[in-house]
Amino acid sequence: MSSLNGKHALVTGGGTGIGAAVALALCDQGAKVTITGRRPEPLADIAGRAEGIAVAPGDVTDPASVASMTETARAEHGPIDILIANAGGAEAAPFQHTSQDLWDSLIAVNLTGAFLCAKAVVPDMLERGWGRLVFVSSTAGLEGQAYVAAYCAAKHGVVGLARALSCEYAKSGITANALCPGFAETDLLHRSIDNIVSKTGRSEEQARASLQATNPHGKFIQPEEVADAAVWLCGDGAAPVNGQAIALAGRDV
């Protein structure tokens, strides 16, 4: 029997990409899963693929929405044992063309959203003496990258949040870790490719090749590969793993 059998996992940004892959993988391991996001249609699609997945639409940047979606999750599956803080967004711009609106929006969805969701679920974990906080960051949370200052700052913040909580709750049965994928085959990547094509005149194939070149194995990370790492972090076998930022990039970061 899986150590995740019967555990309740809340997955933000669960309707597409990495979040959807993690939700399905956790469900496959016997966990009860609630997925959340701002668009109901993709959430319903993922929930329709497996029994045991509930839907709680919400916006991680809005404290009232986070409170509502976590209450909906508890009503469906009980107290929350696992948080996969995956919701995020990215947009590239030279630093001098990075507006405060862009800065604020990327900090909100990538970092503040992770903070709000963790704050909402930690009381459940403390009461039960067990919990897993898994924050989906990025290699941009481990190194500097040009033209993504706001995204880079936000994802570094996510890693810092995970490390801080790992210290604060180390004796409470709760672990906090960050997963840091390189370029992954998601809708976010496809938007980045479209942006490169429109701004540089390169073909889609050339744009894909330029991004793939950042991964030594010459291919994009697959959402299912990130999901496998998330499932491992949530299991009993990873109980000693705490405060880590794990690069999933085929290279040392």
| C-beta of residue 69 within 8 angstroms of C-beta of residue 44 | no
H/E run at residue 41: helix 40-47
Q: Which residue has the tokens 């790492």?
A: 229
Neighbour count for residue 62 (Cβ, 10 Å): 16
How many residues belong to the chain? 253
Q: Which pair of structure tokens corresponds to residue 219?
A: 């291919």
Cα dihedral 234→237→239→240 (10° resolution): -130
Q: Which of 151, 169, 183, 220 is catalytic?
A: 151
Known active-site residue 151: yes
User: Taking Cα atoms as reference points, which of 41, 42, 46, 37 lies closest to residue 72?
Assistant: 37
Q: What is the DSSP letter of 14?
A: T
| C-beta of residue 170 within 8 angstroms of C-beta of residue 239 | no
Catalytic annotation, residues: 151
